[in-house]
Amino acid sequence: MAEITLNVRQLQAFAEVGYEVAGGGGAHGAMAALRRVVPLDAYEFVAFDPATGRHHSVVSDGHHRIDRDAAEEYTGLDAYRRAMSTRSPVSMPEPDTERYFRRHLAPYGWTAGLTAPLFLAEGRYTGLLHLASRDAFPELAEPLITAVAPMLAHVTDLTRCVIDPVGLPAGFNAVTFDRQGTRRDVPGFTASAALTGEPGLAALARAFIDARELSRHGLWLGRDGRWHELRLLRAGVGFQGTIQGAVVAERPCSLPYELTGREVDVLTRVAAGDSNPQIAAALVLSVRTVTTHLEHIFTKLGCDSRTRLTTKALAEGLCRLDL
């Protein structure tokens, strides 16, 4: 990156861009701050979705969104490959961008364009920022946009965006998935080490999404041999939560009501509606052993019928959930 000297006004604008992206006014707030030091008339954020390998317009101002095939059209240009290799903005129109410029920018009266690839500070690519102006961009525009691009890259980062995991208490470790199996982080929650590497996790999340349940709560025996409280919650993921997703969260726990692991297995089968002989066959136990376990469960949970036992087990998440 070329070295540039910033004045106080430019530094203030950069600080405002970071604040807006982090939690203030989002993309529009960040661009309003940027406009104080980079004259521009229109902009568009195009996000790269790693789940599909395609680009999609997510935010625009000053002209209609360049979406669908047009969003992918730019990625077929030499200008895109040059921007990706140099990680620097590329101006338009140039010889290899003239057709694109005539189709998507010139009809709106723009005479100059600037497209910046967006990479997070850690080096991961998240998308593109298209800028348009009725006048030529000043010489300082390109290094200024290059300097602020890592902050703006968060606007198009679809892998980290999870919206409103409502009902998830503090203290849980969490991950989330969309239906394509793309894993995303949950802001404000630590990624779960216990769930990492579980091969059935994405399938569990997809089945939960398809079941249209709002939430699911139960007990899970991890590979570490410890019991965990496990919760699944619906959540919107991707830009502005437009993709259906599921949060999978866990925290280590002791078995409630002094239940044993085998009693949890029996209770789970009761809640599923199995009879004692069915439970015995599924768990490879004698019917008498199942009856004994049930007597202990009734006493520990203070219930006097299978119906009340099932209601309590489901309401308090006492059933076993397997990945």
Work out whether strand 54-61 and strand 183-184 pair parallel, antiparallel, or are unpaired: unpaired
Q: Which residue has the tokens 């969490």?
A: 174
pLDDT digits (tens, 9 = 90+) for 239-262: 666 678 899 999 999 999 999 999
Query: Closest Cα partner for 13 from 130, 143, 116, 148?
Result: 148
Neighbours of 227 (CB within 10 A): 20
Fold of 173-252: Beta-Lactamase (3.30.450)
Express each pLDDT in 179-199 by its tens digit.
878 888 887 788 888 998 888
Task: Report which of residues 72 and 79 the model is more confident about.
Answer: 79
Average pLDDT, the chain: 87
The residue type found at 151 is M
pLDDT of residue 278: 97
Helices (DSSP H) in the chain: which residue ranges?
Answer: 8-23, 26-34, 69-73, 78-86, 98-104, 141-152, 201-210, 261-271, 276-283, 287-301, 306-316
Q: What percent of the chain has pLDDT over 90?
A: 46
Matching CATH topology for 173-252 and 261-316?
Answer: no
The residue written with tokens 């949970």 in the block is: 301
Query: pLDDT tens digits, residue range 199-240?
Result: 889 999 999 988 878 889 999 999 889 999 999 998 887 666
- Per-residue pLDDT band for 104 (boundaries 50, 70, 90) equals confident
Residue 183 is predicted with a pLDDT of 83
The end-to-end CA distance of the chain, in Å, is 46
For domain 8-154, the CATH class is alpha beta
24 or 173, higher pLDDT:
173
Domain boundaries, the chain: 8-154, 173-252, 261-316
**Structure-block tokens of residue 49:** 């979705």
Instruction: Give me the pLDDT at residue 116, please.
Output: 94
Structural fold of domain 261-316: Arc Repressor Mutant, subunit A (1.10.10)
pLDDT above 90 (res 68): no
* Cβ-Cβ contacts under 8 Å for 294 (sequence gap 6 or more): 266, 270, 276
CB-based contacts of 159: which residues, under 8 Å, 6+ apart?
Answer: 50, 126, 182, 183, 184, 185
* Backbone φ/ψ region at 14: left (φ over 0), alpha (ψ -120 to 50), beta: alpha
pTM tops 0.85, yes or no: no
Cα separation, 287 vs 105, in Å, equals: 75
Examine the pLDDT at 309 and tell me if it is beyond 90. Answer: yes
Q: What pLDDT, in 10s, does the model give residues 291-302? A: 999 999 999 999
- pLDDT at site 186: 82
Q: Report residue 26's pLDDT band, with 50, 70 and 90 as the boundaries.
A: confident
Averaged pLDDT for residues 157-167: 68
Between CA 124 and CA 157 the distance in angstroms is: 9
